[in-house]
Amino acid sequence: MRKSKGNSAIADFSAIVVREFRAIASSPAILLVLIGGVFLYGFLYNYMYAPNTVRDAPIAVVDRSHSRLSREYIRGVDASPKVAVTASSADFPAAKERMKRGDVVGILYLPEDFEDRLGRGDESVFTMFGTTQAFLYYAAIQEASAGAMLELENRWRPEMAVFLPTADLPQITAVRAMNVEGVALYNPTEGYGDYLIPAVLMVILFQTLWMVVGMLAGEERTQGTLAQRAREGVSWRRAMRMVVGKTVVYGGIYAVLSLFLLGLIPLLFHLPYVGHRYEVAMLMVPYLLATALFALSTTCFFSDGETPPILIAFFSVGFLFLSGVSYPLELMPRGWQWVHYLVPVAPPPWPS
């Protein structure tokens, strides 16, 4: 009799696992989330923010001023390690053609009154154009141009003292400009891939797994599958078999997908790989279990299969902020810190 009950439990568990695999394989929407959400996002984020660190990005400078200030400014921009001035002329259409051909990734336009405005006591202005083939090129040009302008301000400020009121001249000229030096403690290369992409990959695993579980639960409610299983008999043991069976299915699928996101993607895009691969694999076991169980606990809120992708995708940016990577946990209000620990996307609360 005991053997018969044991065989029945094993058969029921096997049926649950097979049924769950079949439901995933037969749903185009769920397969789209798995393939598009994991594979396409994994490549898309890395391609959008490639290269990881920008060095000597070629830019063109259109100097219509031909003044001492403009020449110093161009030398300051070229001195930045992130950009390199490969062309300098007064022909703006030619610079646009160079950017269209891909010879340069940006253009700095210095107008005729670039130095004259400074002589009148006004701010000097320039116009910056950047290509959209990589997001970080624009940031590199902006940082280099702003840094060169700040350096010129410190260098030219004593010469502009003649425009200051005579009574305030000694006090203002005696004050030294404040020097700010930033040090990237945990991101020495200041690269996007080194800093945020690994966290984004973890959010992709969490978010798509939650979507798959929610969509399956919504389809079960729409098709009446849950009511049919309830008529077959409801017990704590059968409920536990269903939870364990579903968790095994989701964990097994995402264990393979984790090898792609956390194993192959870092090798293809040269992302930092901190720690031993065996240790990372061991840490993924509780992570996937926590994510699967968290997703199963929220299935009661999904009445159809179309709501989870829309609702969960809406909180994508919020999940990233809650992870404590892009926004420090110590600055979060107490309520958001509790949400941080409730969502499995967050890192463990103990020090690493």
Q: What percent of the chain has pLDDT over 70?
A: 79
Question: So what's the pLDDT on residue 281?
Answer: 86
Question: So what's the pLDDT on residue 232?
Answer: 64
Question: So what's the pLDDT on residue 212?
Answer: 92
pLDDT digits (tens, 9 = 90+) for 166-215: 454 455 455 555 666 666 666 666 667 677 788 888 888 999 999 999 99
The Cα–Cα gap between 321 and 92 comes to 41
CATH fold of the domain at 57-174: abc type-2 transporter like fold (3.40.1710)
Query: What element of type H or E holds 107?
Result: strand 106-110
- Whether the per-residue pLDDT at 165 is higher than 70: the answer is no
Mean pLDDT of the chain: 79
The Cα–Cα gap between 236 and 95 comes to 72
Mean pLDDT of 22-51: 84
What does the angle CA 192 – CA 334 – CA 285 come to, to the nearest 5 degrees? 55
The Cα–Cα gap between 296 and 248 comes to 12
pLDDT digits (tens, 9 = 90+) for 103-123: 898 898 988 888 887 777 677
The Cα–Cα gap between 223 and 21 comes to 17
Higher confidence at residue 26 or residue 330? Answer: 26
Question: So what's the pLDDT on residue 253?
Answer: 94
**Those residues with Cβ within 8 angstroms of residue 168's Cβ, 6 or more apart along the chain or in another chain:** none
pLDDT digits (tens, 9 = 90+) for 295-328: 999 888 888 888 888 888 888 778 878 877 777 7
In the chain, domain spans:
2-49+191-342, 57-174
Q: For the whole model, what pTM was predicted?
A: 0.69
- Whether the per-residue pLDDT at 250 is higher than 90: the answer is yes
Question: So what's the pLDDT on residue 162?
Answer: 42
Of the ranges 36-40, 220-224, 335-339, which one carries the lowest mean pLDDT score? 220-224
Highest mean pLDDT among 142-151, 288-297, 332-341: 288-297
Higher confidence at residue 346 or residue 209? Answer: 209
Give burial (CB, 10 Å; 0-12/13-18/19+) of 130. buried
**With bands split at pLDDT 50, 70 and 90, how would you rate the model's confidence at 350?**
very low
φ/ψ bin of 66: left (φ > 0), alpha (ψ from -120 to 50), beta (otherwise):
left
The phi and psi torsions of 343 (rounded to 5 degrees) equal -85, 125
Written as six digits, the tokens of 229 are 């299983």
Mean pLDDT of 61-76: 88
